[in-house]
Structure 1
Amino acid sequence: MQFNVILGAIALCCLASCQDFLEPESISTFDTEYVFSNVDDARKGVNAIYVPFGDDAFRSRLSNNMAANTDIERQSGWTSSGDRYQIWDLQALSSNNDLRRVWNAAYQAIRDANIAIEGIEGGEAINSADVATVRTMNHLLGEAYTLRAYWYSMLTYYFGDVPNVRQAPKAGNEFFLERTNRNEILSQVIEDMIAVEGNMMWAEDLPYGIEQVNREFTLGMIARIALQRGGYYLQPDLTQAREGDYLDYYQIAKDYTERLMNLKDRELPRDFRQVFLNNSKFISPTNSDVLFEVPFAIGNGDVGWNIGIRVDGGATAAHNYGSGNNYLAIPPTYYYSFDTADIRRDVTCAFWKINVDGEVEITNGGITNIAQGKWSRWFLDNPPGASTAKGTGINWPMLRYADVILMHAEAENELNGPTGLAQESLKRVRRRAFRENEWNDKVDGYVSTVSTSKEDFFEAIVDERAWEFGGEMIRKFELIRWGNYSEKMEETVENLKAMADAAVTGTGKYAYLPDYIYWKVDESGDFVVLNPDSEVAVPPDDSWNREAWTLALSDEITVYDEWILKDWRNYIDEGPRPGIVRYVFPIPEEAITNSQGTLANDGYEF
């Protein structure tokens, strides 16, 4: 449904696919005054804003697929002309159906947010004499503003300047809006959230906890979008810019991360793996790391279908877990960027898969297809069926407390340098990544080393966010706002070439890596690699399987594997402007046509 289609009547519906939280009813009235006159119906009206999360536009596209390629995720867009391949290769056309679906989903959510905002603010319930009613209505208002802010954040990342729709559709409104400067939009949504967050409820006080937008998430989103607003962005002439007031937005990020840390601090759970295993076990703890996760019901959501550890299933499989692929591989340069003692590495990066016999074995493609290991349908307690695929019901984490802490470190450093405050925030995240007896070296010593200058500390933040959030598909947006997207892509390609060279010549910085790895499944059923970080001439016994490792990065015909040469080529020197990543995509043709001449794909060399 286009944002600019005149709607004579609006049916407010809720999302049946959300796990327990959103009731499978819909409101069969167009009278918004009635809908937002009481808590129960207002809840259903706000539920409508969540509907696009259940659409393919979000659950498989926006949440993960469209966020490649980066220095920590990759996919080969040059192997096909299909919609998602066009996006991976930065060659998407205005006819791209994935872009159309995302555009429409975003403006559907924005439309329903506008309806809810006007209905709640213009209704009597928010001024009721009943304290509980006022509290609930204020929280619902906060949900609506925050969800609208999220969708505008995504629209401006993917399309640059976009129409700024801030009114519910009604007769007499202007429906054919031109583009609005992305900085104006981001400034507005930040101000919106700042105005409402104080009247919102914490997750622990809500009936569905972190499966609905809560105050923690809103505070975190204020900071996240403030860093977006204060960061670099691509202009229509394909130059990068940053507004002169950018430090004001770093200050907002600092203030609002500190506000959450002061009002609702919590220890990061020590078990990093469990944070994500909770998603597959349908466990959603409050006052923990995940602040908000999109709640998918069984039959909805693609986590464990197109992202996560691969599972080969089907009607003839010996197991009942169904089929799950992994569309986005992890480049080995990312795996080998970790400290070998970092607990996060083997949680984030998986060398294994499940075959049709229900057995663990090395992933297809070995070193070229390392999986994002934080999720898998194999982790489900109740196998969904041999022939199942999509619709695992595994929730998708949208923001974690570790992110808030690292945003705080980044903002403080940008404003004041690597102060003790910034250093402590970085340490908080690193402490979980290492065993306590390693903290003196891996945490305190490391942070001291990277804190000699503002520039060094910033680079440490860039690294730490990669190690902490690998596979969570937020890296693209960070590289954009940091203005170093092309630089990091070039660095990735050069390191992959160096890794391949070292396997052949035995020299260079990657000469220590194994040409072959040896793996097996131990007695407990765990996948074990004998030598992930070093060469081993002969395994200790014949129970080990051998797999070509760094030697698989090149061959006699192409020298370097084609994906090394082509996956990031349009991010580096073969795009419209060498050294600049054209990550902005054209507005979909359907939106152009329906805009009656107010929108066009001008600029960005489209």
Structure 2
Amino acid sequence: MKMKTRFILFTLLMGFSLISCEDYLDTKSLSKDSQGDIFNDVSNTSSAIVGVYGELIGDNGYGNRLSEILPMAADDFETSGDYNCNDRRGISMYAACSSNPELDDPFRQLYRGIERANLCIKYIPTSTVYQNGSESDKNMMDRYLGEALTLRAQFYYELIRNWGDVPFQDKPSSDYDNLFLEKTDRDIIYEQLLVDLEEAAQYVPWRTEANIPPTRLDKAAVKALRARIAMARAGYSLRRESQQMEQGSEPNTYYQIARQECLEVIERRGDHDLNPNFEDIFRSLHEGRADNTNEIIFEVGAFGGNSKTDSKLGYYNGLRHDRASQWNGGGGVNAIPVYFYEFKREDQRRDVTINIFEVNADEKTEVARADRWTDGKFRKSWTNITGPSQNLAVNWPIIRFSDVLLMFAEADNELNNGPSNKAISALQEVRARAFIDNPDEIEPIPTGQQEFFDAIVHERYLEFGGESIRKYDLIRWNLLNEKFIETRQKLENFMEGTGDYTNVPAVIYYKEASYDPSLSAQEVVEDLDIFFAGNDESTVFYNPAPDASQVPSGYSEARWRDGIEEEYIDSERKGFMQYFEPNRKELLPLYDDIINTNYNLTQDYGY
């Protein structure tokens, strides 16, 4: 709690000490002299940096829209509801109108963060304390400069992966004669961000060197972000000129950057390591603490119980709790039903990632129909907040150690035309954690380049479900359309009970069971009162349902496979990724008013 208290105090100070632009590329600011004076004091500079962090969170940041609305449109999860081009479902079904208000405020908030970061980047090196202060003060100011450079890179990375080429502003607004900037090619922006992050890594200490909390950047976070941006630069993206998905030039240059940065993080196990308890990673986000091994390298802090500084994680998304229950929340994000069957039943990630149950008004569990399964890594009942509260102070994970392992493995495989022993070990580590209690179920790691790449694609699918990574992975691999076609076919087979889903039950018979959120996700699923007619209870989801005449009285029926109908797969209102078009919909349109207020901006990408 001390960590969050300090964050609140710094942010309150920030409100009095620094004014940033209030709108996209606005010119509102203090005079140049008063801006510079702020950075002549270490404490005020600290407040200014926390103000930059403040633009990560809230409803328009990773508290909701950047975490749960813009990215939830892949083969793992999607937002719930029926299609409307002007709301979240228009985004999830790849048919957002440029008038969709969900596109407006996140874009503007990212630029507010950039403006705040630019002020710090400009004035810290010229400040008197930076140039003439004590060695300890200079070191602290260096760290703040490194944090500002890294946060600016995070803001731009988020803009590019959603909107493609965007205006590149690398100075405070007051330094521009004309703020109506044109779009800059993303590769140019990426190149500058990679340079910035290389510099930032010299300034920001490792976590154990400065007792850095997970809501502040450490050297591992800087390096991990540099690796992530390098992987994006090496991968595919939708280009303005060709209107085609194209791979970035000289990809091996960027795979090499990613491999090296990841390797340096991997070699510092005292700072970050895999957490053997997968669930603890996500419990920690709800409890205001670091996870047991600092697997989360960087997370966005949430606090304050309001839409500006808090998050709706666990209320908007996550386990569905009936409104009449003490928790009242969840259900805004739904699992793609066939995703459940991508996990082996012994994989500890399955029941953490996907909720196949919901909590009713009597606070008991009920098996949910297949089109109502939810993302399980966020659950209001994992917090100590009850009642109608929507802001739960649940943090958002930006990057984890397992991501670093898998990026390393992927980059190594690309550079060597096949995986080295180190790459194989990195993938093996992630897979072994998943089956920590069932090591005999671990599949061997392939050694061919394409087969290893395919294994990475699938492992990331299982590892990061619901963490808003899958959509962007599929885009940089240029696999989005292929996976949507594949998933549509799987859904057809699931609905019809054919192929891999021949033995999947059409219905599940269950009784209400007591819900105890202190139990592990796996224990809650094991405690579901399901009638299994003599089969091993653990295989009930993998065997046909018993005949209804065998089912004792008192059991209710949940539509399992029967919960998916043709409308779910192919309809204007609900169809799976119904409006996706390759070489067009990989990016979002700019909001109309943003175009209207800058005559140098164009819509592009077929919008």
Same fold (TM over 0.5): yes
The answer on 1:494 being equivalent to 2:496 is no
Match of 1:367 in 2: 370
What residue is the counterpart of 2:463 in the other structure? Answer: 468
2:391 alignment partner AA: G
Shift of 1:88: 1.8
Letter in 1 for 2:265: L
**Pair 1:137–1:520, CA change in 2 (3 A):** farther
Q: CA deviation at 1:521?
A: 5.1
Match of 2:334 in 1: 329
Q: In the TM superposition, what is the alpha-carbon distance from 1:599 to its structure 2 partner?
A: 1.3
Distance, in Å, in 2 between the alignment partners of 1:240 and 1:549 is 37
Structure 2: distance between partners of 1:177 and 1:246: 29
Aligned twin of 1:312? 322
Partner of 1:74: 78
Tell me the CA shift for residue 324 of structure 1.
Answer: 1.3
1:62 paired residue among 56, 59, 66: 66
Contact 1:78 1:567 in 2 (8 A): no
Output aligned runs, 1:265-284, within 5 Å.
266-284=272-290
User: What secondary structure sits across from 2:399 in the alignment?
Assistant: strand
Change (3 A) 1:554 1:421: same
**Offset of residue 432 of structure 1:** 0.9
| Mean Cα deviation higher: 59-68 or 202-211 | 202-211
In structure 1, give the amino acid aligned to 2:56.
Answer: F
The question of 1:532 aligning with 2:536 is answered no
Q: Distance in 1 between matches of 2:319 and 2:514?
A: 21
Q: Does 1:407 align with 2:424?
A: no
Residue of structure 2 aligned with 1:570, choices 571, 579, 582: 579
State the distance in 2 between where 1:482 and 1:519 align. Answer: 41
The answer on 1:554 being equivalent to 2:545 is no
Q: What's the Cα RMSD here? A: 2.5
Structure 2: give runs of 5+ residues left out of the alignment: 19-29, 517-523, 531-536
Residue of structure 1 in register with 2:433 after alignment: 432
1:457 to 452, 466, 469: 452
Picking from 468, 473, 479, the partner of 1:484 is 479
Deviations, residues 521-549 of structure 1 (Å, cap 9, x unaligned):
55785342541222242678656543221
3-state DSSP of counterpart to 1:532? helix
Tell me, yes or no, if structure 1 residue 302 matches structure 2 residue 306.
no
Does residue 509 of structure 2 align to residue 518 of structure 1? Answer: yes
Per the TM alignment, residue 173 of structure 1 is displaced from its structure 2 partner at its CA by 3.6
The answer on 1:260 being equivalent to 2:265 is: yes
Distance 2:132 2:277 in 1: 45
Q: How many angstroms apart in 1 are the aligned matches of 2:134 and 2:511? A: 64
Cα-to-partner distance string for 1:579-604 (whole Å, 9 max, x where unaligned): 44512222222222322x21122x31
What percentage of aligned pairs have identical amino acids?
A: 27
CA deviations over 1:231-276 (Å, ceiling 9, x no partner): 0000124311112311110110001000111234543121111110
CA contact (8 A) 1:309 1:353 kept: yes
Residue number in structure 1 paired with 2:602: 600
Does structure 2 retain, via aligned residues, the 8 Å contact 1:338–1:467? yes
Q: What's the TM-score, normalizing by structure 1?
A: 0.87
Query: Which residue in 2 is equivalent to 1:139?
Result: 143
The residue identity in structure 2 corresponding to 1:375 is: F
Q: Could you tell me whether the CA contact under 8 Å between 1:349 and 1:373 is conserved in 2?
A: yes
Q: Distance in 2 between matches of 1:523 and 1:354?
A: 9
Rounded to whole Å, the distance in 1 between the matches of 2:551 and 2:156 is: 56
8 Å contact 1:77–1:86 — kept in the other structure?
A: no
SS in 1 for 2:333: coil
**What's the counterpart of residue 351 of structure 1?**
356
**Counterpart position of 1:9:** none
Question: Any idea what the Cα deviations from partners look like across 1:171-202, whole Å, max 9, x if unmatched?
Answer: 55432211100011011111100112122122
Show CA shifts across 1:65-124 (max 9, x none): 110210111246753243222222222233222211111111111011100100112223
CA contact (8 A) 2:568 2:576 kept: no
Query: Is the contact made by 1:211 and 1:284 (CA closer than 8 Å) also made in structure 2?
Result: no
- Residue 64 of structure 1 aligns to a residue whose secondary structure is helix
Once the two structures are TM-superposed, the CA of residue 497 in structure 1 deviates from its matched residue by 0.2
SS of the residue 1:57 aligns to: coil
Range that drifts further, 334-343 or 128-137: 128-137
Deviations 1:506-529 (A, max 9, x none): x43310211222334557853425
In 1, Cα distance between equivalents of 2:188 and 2:330: 40
Question: Does the 8 Å CA contact 2:121/2:145 hold for their aligned counterparts?
Answer: yes
Tell me by how many angstroms 1:35 deviates: 1.0
How much does 1:375 deviate?
1.4
Q: What SS does structure 1 have at the residue aligned with 2:181?
A: coil
Greater mean deviation of Cα atoms: 154-163 or 171-180: 171-180
Q: Taking structure 1 as reference, are residues 568 and 23 closer, same or farther at Cα in structure 2, changes over 3 Å only?
A: closer
Q: Which residue of 2 aligns with 1:290?
A: 296
What displacement does 1:205 show? 4.5
Output the TM-score relative to the length of structure 2: 0.87
Please say if residues 496 and 564 of structure 1, whose CA atoms lie closer than 8 Å, have aligned partners that are also in contact.
Answer: no
Q: How far is the alpha carbon of 1:559 from its aligned partner?
A: 9.8
**Equivalent-residue separation in structure 1 for 2:569 and 2:116 (angstroms):** 50
For residues 87 and 551 of structure 2, the distance between their equivalents in structure 1, rounded to whole angstroms, comes to 48
> Where does residue 8 of structure 1 map in the other structure?
none
Contact conserved, 1:77 with 1:88, CA < 8 A, in 2? no
- Give distance in 1, aligned partners of 2:11 and 2:301: 12
Distance in 2 (alpha carbons) for counterparts of 1:412 and 1:477: 20
Tell me how far apart the structure 2 counterparts of residues 129 and 560 of structure 1 sit (CA, whole Å).
64
CA 1:129/1:454 → structure 2, altered by over 3 Å: closer, same or farther?
Answer: same
SS in 2 for 1:162: coil
Query: Does 2:23 align with 1:27?
Result: no
- 8 Å contact from structure 1 (residues 116, 144) kept in 2: yes
SS where residue 189 of structure 1 aligns? helix
Q: Report what 2:593 is aligned to.
A: 590
Contact map agreement 1:18 1:296 (CA 8 A) in 2: no
Q: Which amino acid aligns with 2:441?
A: K
Following the alignment from structure 1 to structure 2, what is the Cα–Cα distance between the partners of residues 79 and 591? 24
What's the offset of the Cα at 1:403?
0.6
Instruction: Give the secondary structure class of the aligned counterpart of 1:74.
Output: strand
Aligned with 2:267: secondary structure? helix
Q: Relative to 1, partners in 2 of residues 1:286 and 1:27: Cα closer, same or farther, differing over 3 Å?
A: farther
1:553 deviates by 1.8
- Report what 2:23 is aligned to: none
Alpha-carbon deviation of 1:213?
1.9
Query: Counterparts of 1:271 and 1:264 in 2: how far apart (Å)?
Result: 16
Structure 2 counterpart SS, 1:79: coil
